[in-house]
Amino acid sequence: MRGAVVTVGMVALGIALWQSFAPESSPVQQIDLEEELIASYLREGTRRHFSQDGVAADVLEISAATRWQNSGETTLRDIRYKSQAENGAVWDIEAAAGILFEDLNELELKNGVSILELTRDATMQTESMHLYMDQKLARGEQEVVMTGRGSRTSGSAFELDLQSSMAILKGDVTTEYE
């Protein structure tokens, strides 16, 4: 009997010491599930799409990407999209920010977009545009300035076919020649 009392006393003393030396538990933090949560984050990424003959037809490079939970959108920073058309035209498109709609394979580029066609040394500048990567088609509803050899053309909107290298400027189109 005396052994049982000693054992119970030792256990009680052990529990008291354990509680006195144990760190305090931090309060439980509540998370507002209405806020958007980050599902994934990527730094310095490259995505390549290949043509049927194995050549890299499209390359998308970014400095950072954030995918939000329960969203089909991924926000991107420092975007560079390179594409080569069947006719040999090489396109290099850069933007400071954008949104990738992965299921649709589309990019919404914004905060300044620069489009360079390397084989003809032509450039286009606009504030934002939508790039349909599967169709190799770009559309913009912002002012655009296109410069080429000896000319500068501006308009209030545009369509650009990356396959045929055909650009259509719309609304208030003016051209200046050197």
Note the pLDDT tens digit of each residue in 52-106. 777 667 888 999 888 877 777 888 999 999 988 877 888 999 999 999 998 888 9
Residue 135 lies in a domain: yes
Residue 1 lies in a domain: no
What pLDDT is attached to residue 38? 64
What pLDDT is attached to residue 110? 94
Mean pLDDT of the chain: 83
Residue 28 lies in a domain: no
Cα separation values, 169 from 11, 48, 133, 138, 145, Å: 85, 29, 20, 12, 9
Residue 4 lies in a domain: no
Separation between Cα atoms, residue 115 and residue 6, nearest integer Å: 84
Indicate the DSSP class of residue 104.
T
- Sorted by sequence, the CB contacts under 8 Å of residue 6 that are 6+ apart come out as none
Number of domains the chain contains: 1
- Sorted by sequence, the CB contacts under 8 Å of residue 168 that are 6+ apart come out as 158, 159, 160
The answer to whether 175 and 141 are in contact (CB under 8 A) is no
- Sorted by sequence, the CB contacts under 8 Å of residue 40 that are 6+ apart come out as 65, 66, 67
Residue 143 lies in a domain: yes
Note the pLDDT tens digit of each residue in 23-40. 665 566 555 544 556 666
Indicate the DSSP class of residue 178.
-
Q: What is the CATH number for 53?
A: 2.60.450.10
Residue 3 lies in a domain: no
Please compute the mean of the pLDDT values over residues 98-122 and round it to a whole number: 90
Residue 12 lies in a domain: no
Separation between Cα atoms, residue 62 and residue 83, nearest integer Å: 15
Residue 8 lies in a domain: no
Q: Tell me, what amino acid is at 61?
A: E
Domain that holds residue 112: 38-177
% pLDDT > 70, the chain: 80
Please compute the mean of the pLDDT values over residues 110-130 and round it to a whole number: 92
